[in-house]
Amino acid sequence: MSAAASDDRAESVRLIRDSAAGLAPRTGDLRRIRALRFEDPGFDRAVWKQMCEMGWPGLRLPEEAGGSALGMAEYCAIAEEVGAALAPEPLVSATMAARALAGTPHATAILTGERLILPAWQERPNTLDTKGDTTTAGGKANGRKIFIPQAAGADAFLVSGKDGLALVERDAPGVTLTTERTQDGGNFGTLSLENAPCTPVPGDLTEALEEAALATAASLLGVMDRVFAMTVDYLKTRVQFGKPIGSFQALQHRAADLKIQVSLSRASVESVAAALDNGLTGPARLAAISRAKARASDSGMLVCRQAIQLHGGIGYTDEADPGLFLRKAMVLCNLYGSATLHRTRFATLAVDSDEG
Amino acid sequence: MTAVTPHQPEDLNHLSDDAFRQHIRQWIEANYPPELRNPPKRLHWSENQVWYFKLAEQGWLCPSWPREHGGMGLSAGKQIIMVEEYERHGVARTNDHGILMVGPLLIAHGTQDQRDFFLPKILAGEHIWCQGYSEPNAGSDLASLRTEAVADGDDWIINGSKIWTTLANDANWIFLLVRTDKTAKKQEGITFLLVPMDTPGITVRPIWTIDLHDEFCEVFFDNVRVPQKWTVGAVNQGWTMAKALLGHERIYLGSAKLSQYALDRLKTLADRMGVAEDPDFIDRYTRLKLEIADLKSLHATYVDVVRRGEELGPDVSMLKVIQTELFQKITDTMMEVAGENAALLEPMEGNRELNPSGLFLQARPSTIYGGSNEIQRNILAKNVLRLPG
Ligand SMILES: Cc1cc2nc3c(=O)[nH]c(=O)nc-3n(C[C@H](O)[C@H](O)[C@H](O)COP(=O)(O)OP(=O)(O)OC[C@H]3O[C@@H](n4cnc5c(N)ncnc54)[C@H](O)[C@@H]3O)c2cc1C
């Protein structure tokens, strides 16, 4: 990319990031987030509609499909802000569905916020396999899908299986949705399908899933970046033994180490997003995504754990904010692949790729 | 609060250690409420009083107290066996501040009146205590505490607030460190007071933890008037009183019990997730298992010191650092092994044995309370290694 093109690109990322400030603010209190926790559907449909009006789930879709044809750099910038804001709206999973459905009226319904269609792709923990054992042949879906984030608010599911993709209405006969609460106050759905009517749709979730993994790494980056900033502020203001605790060298070194982790995570996520936008393909592409997700998952958890420790007793309370970030990291760290899963995948892929 | 009539226990010191261990084990197995084994959260009085009363009736509530005060008068070695047997069975902590702290303190430093009044009430489960040391601005730097008591006739008038007071919402008495001399050096103007929680002017605000449990509280004191006769030790000698209780706490915080429990749960989880046979998991698991074994070996050397009736030195801080960080490392590993289940708010499949996120959160505060691990490392650097500065 030329220097001018890359400046343009940086400007585009900056603009998109700034545009997130209203719906996904990086500063201010977390009252909205707290109010939505542990109540179904776990997010605010009206805010989701506004996010749709801002074009967020369509960032990655071509213009002719109603999207804005932006790159992974822009998508990761938004996902990072959504992470930093702890916004519970299902941006990453809805984007995944919209991406797979691009060009169909179903995608349009997602992009306008009219219908929330969430991907139901997973059948086992610790996997990126979207096929599983579910069948959708003959207009009847049979199978069981798990770990569907924010499923309590879905109108329909984009179900993957041996026979390709199919849409299943939440209220259709043969569909049972149960949800379990997650640490961040949202929910994971389990979808059981027994001869449930379904509409086959073309396409495949593989690529959309890869992008979801990288966007989740970006969200983790937002989570750790903000909780780290809060922690540095606390080190400067909390006084014990007559001085700010940030004056104790043990804590200074700890903060410096965490800064290194945040910087490595940012470098990892942003360079991988840029590489994807520059056309990286094949095993090298998958390996790069694994590199970013493994880093963001490990560093995100580390930074959040240390944020609690450095806040002392108040860090262990629900009323202080660091805990909210830890709980978000607990949800995101293993979504779309844990650090271990991604490292393992990297090891098998990277041998014959540029990422090796 | 209901109470029971405690039983004066028979003297069990004559038993061999093995016979004693068997005796304790059988009784625990026969009497401990099964539903309270290894509870996922710290139990409230409403839940654990059954067990407190059982122990009280048996006369086993206070193993360390001398027999003339209603304790078991056990040798240090037998006390340790008792703790080991509780840990082995997954016996939950009761509201034990009276048993572990107030009782021993009064036996050593209280007046006869105080002993006569308080000890029987602890033994009967009539007084449930909480510990009011920390304040919003006095945590690691405890000696800077500002809750003050001003003498007024035969009374003290207390103003200020305490925070992180574990189970203050269950307690009817609180022991306090308060400032009684603002002009003295900070450790020298502190007094140790015993205060009934139902005194007018005291309010308790439960604080929810990140594990979503009302396990600790903030306690406010607004012109709280209490008699001076409940001062323990001399006025302005409270810091010495508090220090007398500390070493004791650190050896308990250094026990491998929590780590061992977590390691067992890690194994259960790995079995459930189907990774128990993966070479990567076996390596990680074995590493943690060996760390526990080494911690136990180190712990045993300190237990020997206690058994010989000697004082523990500042190096006991090592135990606390090792055990708490090991506990955390094990639960960190659980989070990785659990995959997406790490996100769940409740135990997996409704099974308490499969509770990675819960254990992970419960492991967080252990490096903060009881003197944070940073403070323990400062002690090791300064008081053990005598490093300059
Ligand atoms: C679950 C729980 C239960 C508790 N129960 C009780 C109770 O029943 N009664 C009671 O009185 N208290 C209780 N506490 C309070 C506990 O003792 C304090 O939280 C602890 O002393 C730390 O104080 P703080 O929270 O004010 O943190 P701070 O002292 O503000 O510490 C913040 C951070 O700075 C670090 N730090 C501070 N000073 C230094 C230094 N000099 N060098 C390096 N690092 C430093 C700390 O290690 C920590 O990481 C409890 C706490 C918890 C978490």
* B63 and B23 within one domain: yes
Cα distance from B143 to chain A (closest Cα, Å)?
9
Q: Is residue B243 part of a domain?
A: no
- Residue A1 scores a pLDDT above 80: no
**Model confidence band, residue B309 (pLDDT cutoffs 50, 70, 90):** confident
Cα distance from A304 to chain B (closest Cα, Å)?
11
Residue B166 alpha carbon to ligand 1 centre in Å: 13
Tokens at B238, concatenated: 């409270």
* Per-residue pLDDT at A356: 53
Contact residues on chain A for B342, CB-CB shorter than 8 A = 330-331, 333-334
* B273 and B364 within one domain: yes
- Residue A353 scores a pLDDT above 80: no
Closest chain A residue to B134 measured between Cα atoms? A313
Q: Is residue B323 part of a domain?
A: yes
Q: Is residue B114 part of a domain?
A: no
**Model confidence band, residue B303 (pLDDT cutoffs 50, 70, 90):** confident
* Cα dihedral value A148, A152, A156, A161, nearest 10: 20
Bridge partner list, A177: A191
Ligand 1 pocket, residue A247 CB under 6 Å: no
Tens of pLDDT, residues A250-282: 999 999 999 999 999 999 999 999 999 999 999
Which one of B144, B344, B377 has the shortest CB-CB distance to A250?
B377
Tens of pLDDT, residues A214-252: 999 999 999 999 999 999 999 999 999 999 999 999 999
Q: What is the mean pLDDT of residues A75-94?
A: 98
Closest chain B residue to A336 measured between Cα atoms? B340
- Residue B389 scores a pLDDT above 90: no
Q: What is the mean pLDDT of residues A123-131?
A: 95
Over the Cα atoms of chain A, what is R_g?
20
Write the DSSP assignment of B178-208 as a string of letters. EE--SSS-GGGGEEEEEEETTSTTEEEEEE-
* B271 and B375 within one domain: yes
Please give the residue that has the higher pLDDT: either A248 or A10. A248
Count of structural domains within chain B = 3
Looking at chain B, the whole-number percentage of residues with pLDDT higher than 70 is 98
- Residue B193 scores a pLDDT above 90: yes
* B213 and B187 within one domain: yes
| CA-wise closest residue to B174 among B59, B108, B251, B95 | B95
Domain boundary among B209, B236, B263: B236
For B116, residues 6+ apart whose C-beta sits below 8 A from its C-beta are none
Ligand 1 pocket, residue B134 CB under 6 Å: yes
Tens of pLDDT, residues B196-232: 999 999 999 999 999 999 999 999 999 999 999 999 9
Ligand 1 pocket, residue B129 CB under 6 Å: no
- Residue B1 scores a pLDDT above 60: no
Residue A70 to residue A58: CA distance in whole angstroms: 9
Give me chain A's average pLDDT, please. Answer: 96
* B169 and B226 within one domain: yes
Tens of pLDDT, residues A278-320: 999 999 999 999 999 999 999 999 999 999 999 999 999 999 9
**Model confidence band, residue B2 (pLDDT cutoffs 50, 70, 90):** low
Ligand 1 pocket, residue A105 CB under 6 Å: no
CATH number, domain at B175?
2.40.110.10
Residue A147 alpha carbon to ligand 1 centre in Å: 37
* B297 and B182 within one domain: no
Residue B49 to residue B196: CA distance in whole angstroms: 19
Lowest mean pLDDT among A174-178, B76-80, B354-358: B76-80
Q: Is residue B106 part of a domain?
A: no
Q: Which of B87, B249, B325, B353 is catalytic?
A: B249
* Per-residue pLDDT at A20: 94
3-state helix vs strand vs coil in chain B, percent to 5: 50, 15, 35
Domain boundary among B51, B75, B94: B94
The boundaries of the domain holding residue B87 are 17-94
Residue B139 alpha carbon to ligand 1 centre in Å: 5
Q: What is the mean pLDDT of residues B28-55?
A: 94
Ligand 1 pocket, residue A240 CB under 6 Å: yes
Nearest alpha carbon, ligand 1 atom 44: B374
The terminus-to-terminus CA distance of chain A in angstroms comes to: 23
**Model confidence band, residue B306 (pLDDT cutoffs 50, 70, 90):** confident
Cα distance from A100 to chain B (closest Cα, Å)?
23
Which one of A181, A250, A313 has the shortest CB-CB distance to B139?
A313
**Model confidence band, residue B60 (pLDDT cutoffs 50, 70, 90):** very high
Ligand 1 pocket, residue B372 CB under 6 Å: yes
Q: Which of B42, B145, B164, B217 to mutate to test the pocket of ligand 1 (most atoms within 8 A of CB)?
A: B164
**How many A-B residue pairs are in contact by the CB < 8 A criterion?**
115
* Per-residue pLDDT at B312: 86
For A169, residues 6+ apart whose C-beta sits below 8 A from its C-beta are A155, A156, A175, A197
Q: Is residue B362 part of a domain?
A: yes
- Residue B337 scores a pLDDT above 70: yes
Q: Is residue B113 part of a domain?
A: no
A250 touches chain B (CB under 8 A): yes
**Model confidence band, residue B248 (pLDDT cutoffs 50, 70, 90):** low
* Per-residue pLDDT at B40: 82
Nearest alpha carbon, ligand 1 atom 27: A312
Cα distance from A89 to chain B (closest Cα, Å)?
16
**Model confidence band, residue B308 (pLDDT cutoffs 50, 70, 90):** confident
Ligand 1 pocket, residue B204 CB under 6 Å: no
Q: What is the mean pLDDT of residues A174-190?
A: 98
- Residue B299 scores a pLDDT above 60: yes
* Per-residue pLDDT at B54: 95
A248 touches chain B (CB under 8 A): yes
Residues, chain B? 389
SS (H, E, C) chain A: CCHHHHHHHHHHHHHHHHHCCCCCCCCCCCHHHHHHCCCCCCCCHHHHHHHHHCCHHHCCCCHHHCCCCCCHHHHHHHHHHHHHCCCCCCHHHHHHHHHHHCCCHHHHHHHHCCCCEEEECCCCCCCCCCCCCCECHHHEEEEEEEEEECHHHCCEEEECCCCCEEEEECCCCCEEEEEEEECCCCEEEEEEEEEEECEEECCCCHHHHHHHHHHHHHHHHHHHHHHHHHHHHHHHHCEECCEEHHHCHHHHHHHHHHHHHHHHHHHHHHHHHHHHHCCCCHHHHHHHHHHHHHHHHHHHHHHHHHHHHHHHHHHHECCCCHHHHHHHHHHHCCCCCCHHHHHHHHHHHHHHCCCC
Q: Residue B340 and residue A330: Cβ atoms within 8 Å?
A: no
- Residue B290 scores a pLDDT above 90: yes
- Residue B19 scores a pLDDT above 80: yes
Q: Residue A182 and residue B344: Cβ atoms within 8 Å?
A: yes
Q: Is residue B53 part of a domain?
A: yes
* Per-residue pLDDT at A89: 98
Sign of torsion over alpha carbons B36, B37, B40, B45? positive
Which one of A240, A315, A323 has the shortest CB-CB distance to B140?
A240
Looking at chain B, the whole-number percentage of residues with pLDDT higher than 90 is 84
Please give the residue that has the higher pLDDT: either A10 or A77. A77
Write the DSSP assignment of B58-98 as a string of letters. HT-S-TTS-GGGTS----HHHHHHHHHHHHHHTPPP-S-HI
- Residue B350 scores a pLDDT above 80: yes
- Residue B247 scores a pLDDT above 70: no
* Per-residue pLDDT at B246: 72
Q: Residue B335 and residue A182: Cβ atoms within 8 Å?
A: no
Q: What is the mean pLDDT of residues B141-162?
A: 97
* Per-residue pLDDT at B150: 98
Domains contained in chain A, CATH given: 3-93+108-112 (1.10.540.10), 117-201 (2.40.110.10), 206-349 (1.20.140.10)
* B191 and B77 within one domain: no
Cα distance from A1 to chain B (closest Cα, Å)?
38
* Per-residue pLDDT at B218: 98
**Model confidence band, residue B17 (pLDDT cutoffs 50, 70, 90):** very high
Ligand 1 pocket, residue B207 CB under 6 Å: no
* B170 and B70 within one domain: no
* B78 and B205 within one domain: no
Domain boundary among B94, B121, B144: B94
Q: Is residue B122 part of a domain?
A: no
Q: What is the mean pLDDT of residues B51-67?
A: 94
* B259 and B212 within one domain: no
Give me chain B's average pLDDT, please. Answer: 94
- By the 8 A CB rule, do B94 and B52 touch? yes
Tens of pLDDT, residues B84-96: 899 889 999 999 9
* B295 and B195 within one domain: no
* B144 and B64 within one domain: no
Phi, psi of B373 (to 5 degrees): -65, -30
* Per-residue pLDDT at A87: 98
* Per-residue pLDDT at A264: 98
Tokens at A56, concatenated: 């967020």
